[in-house]
Amino acid sequence: MIEIRNICKSFEGREVLKDISTIFEKGKTNLIIGQSGSGKTVLLKSIVGLIEIECGEILFDERDTRLMNFKEQKLLRQEIGMVFQNGALFDSLTVEQNVRFPMDMFTSMTMKEKTLRLNFCLDRVNIKNSNQLYPAEISGGMRKRVAIARAIALNPKYLFCDEPNSGLDPVTSILIDALIKEITAEFDITTVINTHDMNSVMEIGDKILFISEGLKCWEGNNTQIFNTRNKKLNAFVFASPFSKKFKEIRQMEDDE
Amino acid sequence: MGVIYHIGQYFLLMVRVFKKPEKNSMYIHQLVLEVEKLGINSVGIVAIISVFMGGIITLQLTYNMVSPLMPNYIIGLGNRDTLILEFSSTVLSLMLAGKVGSNIASELGSMRVTEQIDSMEIMGVNSASYLILPKIIAVVFMSPLLFIISVTCGIFGGLITGPLSGVVTVATYITGITTMFVPFYVYFSIIKTFVFGFLIATVPAYLGYFVQGGALEVGRASTKAVVNTSILILFFDLVLTQLLFK
């Protein structure tokens, strides 16, 4: 479980996060949604420690990050897996080397153990016969899956994904969503996903936090989101004609 | 942002770079790759440039300095000392600042803008140390080696050009390169190459590591790295010459 309390952050006097508090639950896919520029990425990067917050607290299973020394912070980071927007795979390493990198760096596993774990992770994300390819030689969807494999290589307690579906076709997006959901349940990890993909919201939103202009506007789950009266959220969720139609059909079904 | 800010940020980065590595074997592996990429791959260009420069210096000395009052062996002697004192240390370092410096800045800059460095930080890796320390060691320790290769090739260039163009005989040229040899010149230049090597690795690394933005900024950082490193090399050349020859 990750708890954030009254987080604030500003850049050159412009407030990007304003007093945000919430709890991301263990074993669930927690989604942060909001328009582009609403502060989603800043919030996610603040939680993982890439951006320093100005006020507030971040607690990983009741461990306050502000009270941790350098060594404890480093150990905490080894419990975190993160999937970046474009995968952020190391260009100079092959698929296999990318996934093995955290094991090589932080464990004293034997080569045989590493190979077993590597094969398990790649199988889990359904990557086959691509071990020796470089990131530039694989598709966007595969890069995301390799990034997920690398993120789970050290059995993380917390998984963060920054817009895992951006730039992917709807079919691949659904596969990536399903994969993240399965992994979250299977390994009982706390997953936090940053997205503005409404399909993800509907499919995997166990918990949803909606932020707008740096403020927490709403929180709930993927069932509650359709019945909310929050104007900003409705404007965001039902922005496209497709989702408007979807809502109408759903309301008609409810009325019947 | 001001110069003081950059100097402060540069030294803070160096503190992070020289922290204890997470896993020595990973760093050694990285070091081997950097030695090959930044050092071994520069041997060819260093040799070619030095052979030509050795030849050109020989001809310039012949046409501008040799007179009935001066012995002909001055050609070999002049070529040797020019190569040792300035060309193979300073000019070659300026060239390496272009080749190696832009490579380092663009590599780290690209890694920064594609979030590869963030990704390492999230894992708990000291990215500054893992990415920059092997480059520093590789460049600092390959620079004196490249200096020696350059001097050898430059003298060889003169040995070919002089007799071929008929301005000096092989025997006179060899007499020149073995006359009045001052070993201190070599020590002086090796000290310079260590300092220049450190600058060639760290200044571009600093500029690349802190790139913000996209491809355009990476390009700018790369250009800035070459310009700033070149200026610093010339500045330290001046300082070291004054300090070590005083």
B114/chain A closest Cα distance in angstroms: 6
Q: What band does A168 get if pLDDT is binned at 50, 70 and 90?
A: confident
Chain centroid to Cα B64, Å, comes to 29
Instruction: Tell me how far apart the alpha carbons of residues B20 and B39 are, in angstroms, rounded to a whole number.
Output: 24
Q: What is the mean pLDDT of residues A89-94?
A: 94
User: For chain B, which residues make up each domain, given as ranges?
Assistant: 23-245
Instruction: List chain A residues with CB under 8 Å of B122.
Output: 48-50, 77, 80, 82, 160
Inter-chain touch A105–B123, beta carbons under 8 Å: yes
Instruction: Tell me how far apart the alpha carbons of residues B243 and B235 are, in angstroms, rounded to a whole number.
Output: 12
Model pTM score: 0.88
- State the best of A11, A44, A45, A50 to mutate against chain B, taking most chain B CBs within 10 Å: A50
pLDDT tens-digit series, residues A124-134: 888 888 999 99
Instruction: List chain B residues with CB under 8 Å of A75.
Output: 124
Instruction: List chain B residues with CB under 8 Å of A102.
Output: 123
- State the best of A52, A79, A82 to mutate against chain B, taking most chain B CBs within 10 Å: A82
pLDDT tens-digit series, residues A10-29: 998 889 999 999 999 999 99
A225/chain B closest Cα distance in angstroms: 32
A161's CB contacts (< 8 A; 6+ apart) are A82, A83, A180, A191, A192, A193, A194, A195
B25's CB contacts (< 8 A; 6+ apart) are none
The answer to whether residue A122 scores a pLDDT higher than 80 is yes
pLDDT tens-digit series, residues A28-57: 999 999 888 888 999 999 999 999 999 999
B222/chain A closest Cα distance in angstroms: 19
Q: What is the mean pLDDT of residues A191-215?
A: 88
Q: What residue ranges define each of the domains in chain A, with the CATH number in brackets?
A: 2-231 (3.40.50.300)
Name the closest residue on chain B to residue A70, using Cα atoms: B124
The answer to whether residue A244 scores a pLDDT higher than 80 is no
pLDDT tens series, chain B, 246 aa: 688 999 999 999 999 999 988 889 999 999 999 999 999 999 999 999 999 999 999 999 988 876 777 888 899 999 999 999 999 999 999 999 999 999 999 999 999 999 999 999 999 899 999 999 999 999 999 999 999 999 999 999 999 999 998 888 999 999 999 999 999 999 999 999 999 999 999 999 999 999 998 999 999 999 999 999 999 999 999 999 999 887
